[in-house]
Amino acid sequence: MIVFAEKIVEQGLYRDTVLTWIGDFNPRMIKVCENLDAVNYRTMATYRYLFDRSRPFERHPLIEKKDG
């Protein structure tokens, strides 16, 4: 992704790009944005409606790097 971004910048085709909906449970994509020196100009929220309120809500686990 970073190599592709560098090629686009070299060609001068775009001034800006937007990476959207990178969840806080995905630290790898957050790191990609940081490595691209991206600026967070907007923070979005996702709201959940629990249809079965007797079941506890569990956050999505962090996405970890796969071994091997």
Q: What is the DSSP letter of 68?
A: -
Please answer whether residues 28 and 63 qualify as being in contact, where contact means their C-beta atoms are separated by less than 8 angstroms: yes
Is residue 68 domain-resident? no
Entry pTM: 0.52
Residue 52 lies in a domain: no
Polymer length of the chain: 68
User: Which residues constitute the domain of residue 10?
Assistant: 1-46+57-62
SS3 12: coil
Give percent above pLDDT 70 in the chain.
96
User: Who wins on pLDDT, 28 or 1?
Assistant: 28
pLDDT of residue 68: 60
Q: How many domains does the chain have?
A: 1
Residue 41 lies in a domain: yes
pLDDT tens digit string along 31-64?
888 888 888 878 777 788 889 999 998 887 777 7
